[in-house]
Amino acid sequence: MTDDTMTADERVWAAIRLQRADRTPIVPTLLPEPAAGLSGRSQAEVANDSSAAVAAVFEVFDEYGGWDNPYPASYAPIQLQASGSHPMKMRIPGRNLPDDLPFQLEEAEILQPEDYDVIADQGFERFYNEDFLWRITDIGRDELPGVKKEMIAGGGLFLGECAKRGLRPFFLASCLHPFFTLCLMRGMVAFTKDLYYAPEPVERAIRRMTTDLIPQRIELAKQTGIDLCLFTEERASANLFPPRISERYWWPYTREFVDACWSEGVVTLFHLDTCWDENIALFRELPRGSAVLELDSTTDIFAAKRVLRDHLCLKGDVSAALLSVGTRKEVEDYCKRLITEVGGDGGFILGSGCSVPPTARPENFRAMIETGKAYRPW
């Protein structure tokens, strides 16, 4: 817009620093799956070729007028499995799913109780690469170097497309919370039983994983030059576990991670799926400005703002349902409410609630981007 007075980075970081920018920054979570839907590609195409995934993302970016920081989206699903960020069995379109379905994760009881102590003794990365990956993947051992090489090449392609447009990604350093990682690997039911009936091995594994993760992710964030690290958690909320569970097995390690990152100038970007209404006050214990909470539309973002106003930045939360089956006017009205009530005094980034859905209506996605740029109630 011609009346923009800040760069994209200045705008995003003003919000992270709890300041009001020239307009609300916009960062939708546009991943390859919704980019395929919006660009007319098949899910099989973007799931089996990271260069096609990157092309789809930036075709949508250009077609819809762009936004402030692209969300990193240069992967093929099998690369996420190989890297440990999706530590589960997979079904992939074009391989064992129809071409028009997004990839799926299969939850199963793969991690065994004795594995907790192995992780505590030798660390997660060694255990995952030498043992666990081969329990869940169809990749051959001789294929793994090529998969990782393609992942690096896709990342380079993504960065190149950002550079062509004078942009930086929203972040590059990322990880899953150890609690979430173990829950995915063990399966929700078995993991819950472990927490109640045999918690000590779980705690030892989380302790080792946290200790190893902190310096790795700080170093990676510093290497990228973007002082933001994505920390994904989708299962520790009171929506799934009573607060006494999350406050024992999740919060102390979360606080340690955030404090360590913040001491080095790195802000933690929480991706918080499920409803965190009962947990949200905990986040006031974090240092002011040390984190961003990315909410998925099941948490009441307006209540979260009342609790965290002038303390932490919020990001979200135009829901998948609204983008898929709502009207353009409904999207516009909701974005205006978010900008006014959550972003009116700063500390807010407009985006989708979790990922933009693969079934998003083009007119609704456009409404979110255009309303974010045009609507300035102050």
How does pLDDT run across 99-158, given as a tens digit for each residue?
999 999 999 999 999 999 999 999 999 999 999 999 999 999 999 999 999 999 999 999
- The predicted structure's pLDDT at residue 2: 56
The Cα 165–Cα 134 span in angstroms is 40
φ, ψ at 75 (rounded to 5°): -105, 160
Collapsed DSSP state (helix, strand, coil) of residue 315: strand
Whether 145 and 197 have beta carbons less than 8 Å apart is answered as no
pTM of the model: 0.96
**Cα R_g (the chain), whole angstroms:** 20
Whether 118 and 203 have beta carbons less than 8 Å apart is answered as no
Q: Which two tokens stand for residue 348?
A: 């807010």
CA 28 to chain centroid, in Å, comes to: 11
Task: Give me the amino acid identity at 244.
Answer: R
Q: Which two tokens stand for residue 218?
A: 């700080």
The Cα 47–Cα 62 span in angstroms is 21
C-alpha count within 13 angstroms, C-beta hemisphere, residue 111:
27
Percentage helix, strand, coil for the chain under 3-state DSSP, each rounded to 5: 50, 10, 35
pLDDT digits (tens, 9 = 90+) for 180-227: 999 999 999 999 999 999 999 999 999 999 999 999 999 999 999 999
- The predicted structure's pLDDT at residue 3: 80
Nearest residue to 279 via CA among 296, 259, 256, 299: 299
The Cα 179–Cα 157 span in angstroms is 32
Give the number of other CB atoms < 10 A from CB of residue 200: 11
Query: Which strands form 291-295's sheet, in the order they lie side by side?
Result: 173-176, 228-233, 267-272, 291-295, 313-318, 348-352
Domain chopping of the chain, boundaries:
8-374
Whether 150 and 161 have beta carbons less than 8 Å apart is answered as no
Collapsed DSSP state (helix, strand, coil) of residue 317: strand
DSSP 8-class letter at 352: E
The Cα 89–Cα 130 span in angstroms is 16
Architecture of domain 8-374: Alpha-Beta Barrel (3.20)
Point out which residues pair with 313 in neighbouring strands: 292
The Cα 368–Cα 316 span in angstroms is 11
Over the chain (378 residues), what is each successive 10-residue block's mean pLDDT? 84 97 97 98 97 98 98 95 96 96 97 98 97 96 95 96 97 98 98 98 98 98 97 96 95 98 98 97 98 98 98 97 98 98 96 97 98 92
Give the number of other CB atoms < 10 A from CB of residue 42: 17
Nearest residue to 305 via CA among 319, 320, 316, 318: 316
Nearest residue to 73 via CA among 90, 61, 87, 62: 61
Point out which residues pair with 316 in neighbouring strands: 350
Whether 350 and 377 have beta carbons less than 8 Å apart is answered as no
Task: Give me the amino acid identity at 172.
Answer: L
